[in-house]
Amino acid sequence: MDDQTPSTELRGSAQADTGARGPRLREIPLRLIIPNLITVLAICAGLTGIRLAFENRYELAVAMVLAAAFLDGIDGRVARMMKATSKFGAQMDSLADIINFGVAPALVLYVFVLDQARSLGWIAALIYAIAAGLRLARFNVMDERETKAPWQSEFFVGVPAPAGAALVMLPIYLGFLGVAPVGIFAYASTAYTVVIGYLLVSRLPVWSGKSETSHVRRDLVFPMILGVVLYVALLMSFTWEVLVVSVLLYLCSLPFGARNWHRRYGTLTIGEEAAEKGLSEIDRGV
């Protein structure tokens, strides 16, 4: 008995030391951290864009907001590619979205031109930022459903928030091309901002380009790749001109998406009318 007493005391001492130190922290694989780092960088870029706008460095401000939108758009894809999706990352991404697609573009636009419209300009900026938040909330609710409608892989309900961020800054692109951000242009920009906010929360069917049934003919693959290369080259050389043309083309494409939806389901919007035509409850959207 006397020989066993010291070893018993040593075990008790070791257990006491372990209890004092507490449980060991669980190690997290690096691949789980990388998507979250991209999300954090996107938030930093969006907030930096706001700061640059207040410092009257508008071109850099717009570049940072667009960079934030790009980073925010790829973090989820990177997470899925690396099999590093998590609930924490999804919440982080949602918080980043409202900053990068809602708050940052609205404030940069306000500092550049909407402040010339005084209170009306600020109201327009608020409307857009809130519309972006509502649009993102609706998307999250629809994306979390276990059963998704077949059309959700092909159509968005309203203009997606990333596209809205690029669209709403059209007055800034025009300002860089020489249009003075004063007078009637400021009030026209205010009305335009409200329209883009409405398109975000509308039930307009917008073609997403993500449908698995969409295919490209083999003989058009290489020309399409060359077209993308040409677009990027033009974007690097004539940034603001290309962005203006891109925004106008996107806006012109919206009626074609609505027409395509109308041909399939007989309605112009995704809403209660769609349910009346025989679509299930899940097909209504939010």
Domain boundaries defined on the chain: 30-277
The CATH number of the domain covering residues in 30-277: 1.20.120.1760
Strands in the chain per DSSP E: 155-157, 205-207
| pTM (two decimals) | 0.79
Low-confidence ranges of the chain (pLDDT < 70): 1-28, 143-153, 209-215, 266, 268-269, 271-286
Q: Of the candidates 128, 97, 134, 132, which has an alpha carbon nearest to the alpha carbon of residue 113?
A: 128
pLDDT 10s digits, 84-125: 777 777 778 888 888 888 999 999 999 999 999 989 999 999
Spacing of C-alpha 180 from chain mean position: 29
Predicted confidence at residue 148, as pLDDT, reads: 60
Predicted confidence at residue 155, as pLDDT, reads: 74
Residue 74 makes CB contacts below 8 A (sequence gap 6+) with 38
Predicted confidence at residue 86, as pLDDT, reads: 74
What distance in Å separates the CA atoms of residue 44 and residue 56, rounded to the nearest whole number? 18
**What three-state secondary structure class fits 207?**
strand
Predicted confidence at residue 286, as pLDDT, reads: 46
Predicted confidence at residue 275, as pLDDT, reads: 39
Q: Which amino acid is at 100?
A: N
What distance in Å separates the CA atoms of residue 156 and residue 208, rounded to the nearest whole number? 6
Which run of H or E residues covers position 211?
A: none
